[in-house]
Amino acid sequence: MQMELSLEQYETLLKLVYMGDWVISTLQAKDRSEDEPDTDSRFADVVRHVFAQADSAGLGNIVQIDQNNGEPYLTREFEEESGLVDILEDYEDEVFWQALIERLAHRDFLRHYGETAISQMAIEERIEKETPFHDKWATEFHENGLENLKI
pLDDT in tens, 58-117: 998 999 988 999 889 999 999 889 999 999 999 999 999 999 999 999 999 999 999 999
What's residue 26's pLDDT? 83
Measured over the CA atoms of residue 55, residue 58, residue 60 and residue 62, the dihedral's sign is: negative
Beta-sheet pairing, 63-65 with 72-74 = antiparallel
> Which DSSP state fits 36?
S
Look at residue 39 in the predicted model and tell me its pLDDT: 54
Give the pLDDT confidence score for residue 33 in this predicted structure. Answer: 57
What's the mean pLDDT in 40-60? Answer: 88
For residues 115-143, give the mean pLDDT: 97
Q: Span 126-136, mean pLDDT?
A: 98
The per-residue pLDDT for range 11-40, each reduced to its tens digit, is: 999 999 999 999 888 887 766 555 555 456
Label residue 97 exposed, middle or buried (CB < 10 Å: 0-12, 13-18, 19+): middle
Going 73 to 78 to 82 to 86, the CA torsion angle's sign is positive
Predicted local confidence at residue 70, as pLDDT = 86
